[in-house]
Amino acid sequence: MTLKTLDTVKHASGTPEAEQPWKELGLKEDEYARIREILERRPTGAELAMYSVMWSEHCSYKSSKVHLKQFGEKAPANDAMLVGIGENAGVVDVGQGYAVTFKVESHNHPSYIEPYQGAATGVGGIVRDILAMGARPVAVVDPLRFGAADHPDTKRVLPGVVAGIGGYGNCLGLPNIGGEVVFDACYQGNPLVNAGCIGVMRHEDIHLAKASGPGNKVILYGARTGGDGIGGVSVLASETFESTGPAKRPAVQVGDPFQEKLLIECTLEIFREKLVAGIQDLGGAGLSCATSELASAGSGGMRVELDTVPLRDATLSPEEILMSESQERMCAVVEPDKVDRFMEICEKWDVIATVIGEVTEGERLEIFWHGEQIVDVPPRSVAHDGPVYHRPYARPDWQDALQADDANKLARPANSAELREQVLRLIASPNQASKAWITDQYDRFVQGNTVLAQPEDAGMVRIDEESNLGVAMATDGNGRYAKLDPYAGAQLALAEAYRNVAASGAKPLAISDCLNFGSPEDPAVMWQFAEATRGLADGCLQLGTPVTGGNVSLYNQTGETAIHPTPVVAVLGVIDDVNRRTPIAFKEEGQLLYLLGETREEFGGSAWSQVVHDHLGGLPPAVDLDREKLLGEILISASRDGMVDAAHDLSDGGLIQAVTESCLRGGNGARLVVPDGLDAFTFLLSESAGRAVVSVPRSEELRFTDMCGARGLPVTRIGVVDGDAIEIQGEFSVTLAELKDAHEGTIPALLA
């Protein structure tokens, strides 16, 4: 909003009936009325801009916060938690004086409009969240969802997103160690680009976003402020897309990874010299967010001289400066006697730094433009006391019919030859096929501390070179399961990520989440959200893994068509010695293969039902979190004590998918025997949860099976690592060469 006459606080007080573009800025009529009530006058243009971006769905969580509070109310007791929900990212204790901070966020809508920059700045934003906690970023992950693999627009969006993630992350020198790529027509027009980051620090180096100490200076440093991203993700992510395209198209932010690399090193040196009293990155809502959140979390007020902000575009109005989401910027609160040294370090790293204000003894956020006051607000009303919606929600009338359409009743292969053909179709399907075409564009081993990365069950990095202490992360989420049952679907996402981390040998500690849903104005979508949130909160309590923070992304919807409910869960784990990690590869011929857990006829939402029948219906696999916890303990103990050489969780695609991946990864085949009580089809393709396949050295067989038996975990010997094919005794055999062609050829052919 740009006015011919500067809209000062004094001017606003004297012109109460002036028309304002509150609706165009995404505010509802009652929200605008509430702003007037708070201020006891109409807002200035600058104030209206601030409230509009900070009260947007993306920034305020106004439709979701009534459900998210469960994560605090049901939080399990966990001595590892150092910083929880409410800061830029959560922090957990991983031992030896180290703390790890991690978070997952979304950059969905910007990545549809401008795939490269949308994805690149998603990486940049999550890295700055981690940096703002006082940590050095050490790795990134990227859970992705795209439309149908053969849709023309997927060929536009996917390569741009992948190039943006790789381009930005590779330039920062951060290994990309994990994530997922899922294709489904429901994401057509609403791709999900979620980005996660892990950072490491010492306990004493944790920093929080608060502005305390009257007289302390507020310093903006990093890139200049430009016109890119005005309103950006804060507005764009708070609207649905129409079938003809986005309803609103604010400029997508433009990233500069080299500037961010300088900003990272500059900030870490500032931290080492203990020069900041509070710090906040500038992401969604830009300066509106940084100033209001710092002031709100502090002990006083703040005065800002907005005209001192370094600009790339001198024509920007005050409102545009406050709304700009230009990247690579941070805001620090610094004691006066430390300002000179702060500036010296910024100059050393060629980072622009400007004192734009100071902390005051009052309780107001006051912003001035060339000496004229344009903002005078209670900062908490902007940053934390926004609208709270109790959106109506109701179980959709189609849910019963969907669940009654049982996938277990679909036609199954009539003979061994047909089963073999369906297995090959599954292995070659876009969701089950190798994603190497994508992950090879990411540097997975830069910095030299990556010990596991795609396509392993979890990514893992060493964080101490002397002790070999490490952390692992896995992200998972199955929108098909969640569509069938959002409560169970969220718990299945949690269980799979938990299982993946445990399979690598790491102990799961805590989670971050990225909750991707359609429009909250649709009662069916809000029911899905409420159920998934409840399921995740209950599941975390049962597993003892607290939610440290995360992100909600709503309005992922085109017209009346919403995406499948897609709760993505990131589980962080710790391992005392990364040399004890467990990979997925079957590397040693003669080792015995054991299936852990119970296999049932569970095909609802399965890869087989999708690939062979294009079907979604029935119930997802049953969840038993106590069994998941036991399985995790067995996998971690077996890894630590050298009882298994490889482990792979069973999830999408069932046993045959896991065995295929482990065989191809290790270059060895396997001979499998169908256990008594199971048919070959169920044995190979069921997606029952709480299962893993492991390869056990013959010398460890008795010790391993005794441990499983003593702990009450079902364990079944199903075969041996051997040869150059996967042979299902009495059914069929398929060579590794044929499997490799099927598994690795799909994605390059689709995207060529």
Annotation-wise, does 261 bind a ligand? no
The dihedral formed by the CA atoms of 412, 418, 424 and 426, expressed in degrees to the nearest 10: -10
C-alpha 737/C-alpha 410 separation (Å) is: 30
Q: What is the pLDDT of residue 233?
A: 53
The pLDDT, as a whole number, for residue 542 is 97
Q: 328-341 burial, b if ≥16 CB within 10 A, otherwise e?
A: bbbbbbbeeebbee
Closest CA to 197 of 86, 275, 107: 107
Region 337-356: mean pLDDT is 98
Q: What percent of the chain has pLDDT over 70?
A: 97
Average pLDDT over residues 115-132: 94
Contacts by residues 413-420 (CB-CB < 8 Å, ≥ 24 positions apart)? 413/681, 416/680, 416/730, 416/731, 416/732, 417/732, 419/680, 419/681, 419/684, 419/731, 419/732, 420/731, 420/732, 420/734
DSSP assignment, residue 406? -
How far does CA 316 lie from the centroid of its chain?
A: 33
Pairing of strands 136-146, 192-202: antiparallel
Distances (CA, A) of 509 to 398, 413, 472, 491, 578: 37, 42, 10, 16, 16
| pLDDT at 741 (0 to 100) | 97
Please check if 327 is assigned to a binding site. yes
Q: What is the mean pLDDT of residues 258-286?
A: 94
Residues 6+ away with beta carbon under 8 Å from 148: 154, 183, 184, 185, 188
User: Which pLDDT does position 3 carry in this prediction?
Assistant: 43
* Rounded-to-integer distance, Cα 680 and Cα 659, Å: 14
In which band, very low, low, confident or very high, does the pLDDT at 237 lie, cut at 50, 70 and 90? Answer: low
pLDDT of 269 strictly over 50: yes
Please indicate if the annotation marks 107 as binding a ligand.
yes
Q: Would you give the DSSP letter of residue 86? A: T
Strand arrangement, sheet containing 241-242? 245-246, 241-242, 557-558, 561-562
743 is in an annotated binding site: no
11, 58, 648, 743: which one is catalytic?
Answer: 58
**What's the pTM?**
0.95
Average pLDDT over residues 630-657: 98
**Per-residue model confidence as pLDDT tens digits over 406-451:** 999 999 999 999 999 999 999 999 999 999 999 999 999 999 999 9
pLDDT band at 240 (very low <50, low <70, confident <90, very high): low
Token pair 């023309």 is found at 152
Instruction: Tell me if 67 is assigned to a ligand binding site.
Output: no
pLDDT score for 192 = 97
pLDDT, residue 265, reads 97
695 is in an annotated binding site: no
Residue linked to tokens 């609103």: 248
Known binding residue 129? Answer is yes
Residue 347 has pLDDT above 70, yes or no: yes
512 annotated as ligand-binding = no
Across 587-605, average pLDDT: 97
Q: Residue 574, SS3?
A: strand
> Pick from 94, 66, 10, 177: which is nearest to 470 by CA?
94
**Token pair 């099976």 in the structure block, residue:** 705
623-633 average pLDDT score = 98
Q: Tens digit of pLDDT for each residue in 675-689?
A: 999 999 999 999 999
Q: Measured between alpha carbons, how far is 490 from 620 in angstroms, rounded to an integer?
A: 11
E-strand stretches of 317-380: 329-334, 352-360, 365-369, 372-377
The mean per-residue pLDDT over the stretch 77-95 comes to 89
105 belongs to an annotated ligand binding site: yes
Candidates 107, 151, 564, 648; catalytic one: 107
What rounded mean pLDDT belongs to the chain?
94
pLDDT tens-place string over residues 276-316: 999 999 988 899 999 999 998 887 799 999 999 999 999 99
Q: Does the bond joining 115 to the residue before it have cis omega, within 30 degrees of 0?
A: no
Name the nearest CA neighbour of 552 among 60, 10, 171, 165: 60
Strand, coil or helix: what is 129? helix
pLDDT at 49 over 80: yes
Residue type at position 115: P
- Residue 211: predicted pLDDT: 75
Q: How confident is the model at residue 238 (pLDDT cuts 50, 70, 90)?
A: low
Reply yes or no on whether the pLDDT at 100 is more than 70: yes
pLDDT at 232: 54
Question: What is the reported pLDDT for 457?
Answer: 97
Residues in a beta bridge with 734: 726
> What integer pLDDT is reported at residue 297 of this predicted model?
84
pLDDT at site 79? 85
281 is in an annotated binding site: yes
Q: Which helix (H) or strand (E) holds 738?
A: helix 736-751
Is 106 annotated in a binding site? The answer is yes
Is 389 flagged in the annotation as binding? no
CB 240 within 8 A of CB 555: yes
Q: Using DSSP bridges, classify how beta strands 329-334 and 365-369 pair: parallel, antiparallel or unpaired.
A: unpaired
* The pLDDT of residue 145 is above 60: yes
Q: Is 114 part of any known ligand binding site?
A: no
Whether the CB-CB separation of 593 and 113 falls below 8 Å is answered with no
| Known catalytic membership, residue 107 | yes
Sheet of 217-222: strand order equals 278-281, 329-334, 217-222, 352-360, 301-305, 365-369, 372-377
Please tell me the predicted confidence (pLDDT) of residue 703. Answer: 97
Q: Regarding predicted confidence, which is higher, 234 or 521? A: 521
Give the pLDDT of residue 302.
Answer: 95
Secondary-structure breakdown of the chain: helix, strand, coil percentages, each rounded to the nearest 5: 40, 25, 40
Tens digits of per-residue pLDDT, 474-532?
999 999 999 999 999 999 999 999 999 999 999 999 999 999 999 999 999 999 999 99
Task: Collapse the DSSP code of 728 into the 3-class scheme (helix H, G, I; strand E, B; otherwise coil) and give the result.
Answer: strand
Determine if residue 500 is labeled as part of a ligand binding site.
no
- 109/118 Cα distance (integer angstroms): 8
**Left if phi > 0, otherwise alpha if psi is -120 to 50, otherwise beta: which for 280?**
beta
Could you give the CA distance from residue 81 to residue 92 in angstroms, rounded to a whole number?
Answer: 5
User: How would residue 560 be classed by pLDDT, with cut points 50, 70 and 90?
Assistant: confident
Kindly tell me the burial class for residue 60, based on how many C-beta atoms sit within 10 Å of its own C-beta (0-12, 13-18, 19 or more): buried
- The reply, when asked if residue 116 is annotated as ligand binding, is no
pLDDT bucket at 236, cuts 50 / 70 / 90:
low
Residue 426 has what pLDDT? Answer: 98
Angle CA(282)–CA(264)–CA(58) in degrees, nearest 5?
Answer: 25
pLDDT at 231: 61
Of 724, 499, 704, the C-alpha closest to 593 is 704
Q: What is the pLDDT of residues 4-13, one digit of tens each?
A: 579 999 999 9
Would residue 151 show up in a list of annotated catalytic residues for this protein?
no
pLDDT at 243 over 70: no
Find all residues with CB under 8 Å of 329, minimum gap 6, and list them. 220, 221, 222, 223, 225, 263, 281, 282, 286
Angular region, 458: left φ>0, alpha ψ -120 to 50, beta rest: beta
Contact 670, 722 (CB under 8 A): yes
Is the pLDDT confidence value at 250 over 80?
no
